Amino acid sequence: MNLDDLPIRDDLRGLSPYGAPQIDVPVRLNTNENPYGPSASLVTDLAEAVRHGAAELNRYPDRDALALRADLADYLGHGLTAERVWAANGSNEVIQQILQAFGGPGRCAMGFEPSYSMHSIIAGGTSTEWIPALREEDFGIDPDKAVAAIAEHRPDVVFLTSPNNPTGTALDPAVIARIAEAAPGMVVVDEAYFEFARTGTPSALTLLPGNPRLIVTRTMSKAFAMAGTRLGYLAAHPAVVEALLLVRLPYHLSTLTQTAARVALTHREELLGTVDMLRDERDATVAWLRDLGLKVADSDANFVLFGTFADRHAVWAELLERGVLIREVGPPGWLRVSIGTAEEMAAFRAVLEGIL
Ligand SMILES: *Cc1c(COP(=O)(O)O)cnc(C)c1O
């Protein structure tokens, strides 16, 4: 028997699962993780906190994760409080809950591509129709065209990724504000990479007052160097959080997850201390790739999209052959490299130069 023989939903037939390769090679620059692991003191604090939490694992966790949400609100600033913040197992689960509450059968969601593939994949999983709109040549969004597309399709949910994955493009808050004004439903700004944006780039959090249907999502997977913890969160109007309570599974965030995330937040200075190094390394990578004569997208994230190659798969495979894993993603001909440590980037440069 194979998958096709099972009585699965017709709208899932023929789909492919999300599948960034997880290959054990010396230099892994393909899923935008922070290359710096936790310090010894953070590991000690995490282990100690988990030891305490372990003694209560016979009990369900705090269903509403109130202490963690208060800590996240404190981190975000902008006058936010726990009632305006919601958390789940990665921002992917946050996005799923948003689509469960505001999308679903008979409803549609729109995104501006190229962008993060999980938005359309989660739309598919929640039976929300996906409407792809297009970004411009420079990977920005033309607000007039966006407003026209919204008027035509009347999406229930609009996704804006800023800085965008896989292009690195940050959106001007004025563009987000125009889209929020035009959208009849919810507008989600996915700010997974916000901490990496160039200094002075405003967050969409500044638009929350006055935009009650706006949701800003964040994650501890990237700048916070906690991808393994699985902790994503959002800021929105308290009524939005109430809507998500209707669809979340009870006790969705384990005691251990809540504990680890809270400890990580107390170490935020250390964890975010790597961001400046990664931003410098990113800017150097952009300059180096441009010196090679390649096309490179401006990046406000911890990765760089570059190209174009007549056979990008061949370049990707040859890098992998020599121990450097990057990502084959984006428009045809482009490749994306996550920013690693100085040593990892030196290896990437040496290998790529050899190939070219
Ligand atoms: C990596 C990434 C996420 C993070 O997902 P988590 O589930 O929090 O690990 C969210 N949005 C975008 C655009 C990403 O690239």
**Is residue 136 packed enough to be buried (19+ CB in 10 Å), middle (13-18) or exposed (0-12)?**
exposed
Ligand 1 center–CA 33 separation, angstroms:
10
Q: What pTM does this model have?
A: 0.97
One-letter amino acid of 156: D
Question: Residue 178 C-alpha to ligand 1 middle, in angstroms?
Answer: 24
Task: List ligand 1's pocket residues with C-beta within 6 A.
Answer: 32, 90-92, 116, 161, 165, 190, 192, 219, 221-222, 227, 232
**Rounded Cα distance, 88 and 6, in Å:** 30
Q: Which of 222, 252, 257, 304 to mutate to test the pocket of ligand 1 (most atoms within 8 A of CB)?
A: 222
Which atom of ligand 1 lies at the shortest distance from residue 115's CA? 13
C-alpha of residue 73 to centroid of ligand 1, in Å: 19
pLDDT the model gives residue 327:
97
Which residue CA neighbors atom 1 of ligand 1 most closely? 192
Crossing angle between the packed helical segments 90-102 and 238-245, to the nearest 10 degrees:
90
CA angle 18, 167, 223 (to 5 degrees): 75
pLDDT, position 21: 80
Residue having the nearest C-alpha atom to atom 14 of ligand 1: 192
- For CATH 3.40.640.10, list the domain ranges present in the chain: 40-266
Report yes or no: 229 and 260 within 8 Å, Cβ to Cβ: yes
**Predicted local confidence at residue 171, as pLDDT:** 97
DSSP 110: E
Q: Report the atom number in ligand 1 closest to the C-alpha of 32.
A: 1
Report how far Cα 123 is from the mean position of its chain's Cα atoms. Answer: 15
Structural class in CATH, domain 22-37+273-355: alpha beta
CA–centroid distance, 1 to ligand 1, in Å, is 34
Q: By CB neighbour count within 10 A (0-12 exposed, 13-18 middle, 19+ buried), where does 324 fall?
A: buried
Q: Are 130 and 124 in contact (CB under 8 A)?
A: yes
Compute, in angstroms, the gap from residue 216 CA to the centroid of ligand 1.
13
Q: For the structural domain made of 40-266, what CATH number should be given?
A: 3.40.640.10
pLDDT tens digit string along 298-327? Answer: 999 999 999 999 999 999 999 999 999 999
Taking the centre of ligand 1 as the mean of its atom positions, its distance from the CA of residue 121, in whole angstroms, is 13
Specify the residue with its C-alpha closest to ligand 1, atom 11: 192
Residue 122: what pLDDT? 96
Neighbours of 200 (CB within 10 A): 5
In the chain, list all ranges with CATH 3.90.1150.10.
22-37+273-355
Name residue 324's beta-bridge partners.
Answer: 27
Residue type present at position 104: G
Q: Ligand 1 pocket: which of 93, 161, 219 to mutate (most atoms <8 Å of CB)?
A: 219
Residue at 239: amino acid letter: A
Which residue positions in the chain have pLDDT lower than 50? none
3-state DSSP assignment of residue 159: strand
Q: Which amino acid is at 201?
A: T
Ligand 1, closest atom to CA 221? 9
Angle between helices 268-291 and 342-355 (to 10 degrees): 20
Model pLDDT, residue 17: 85
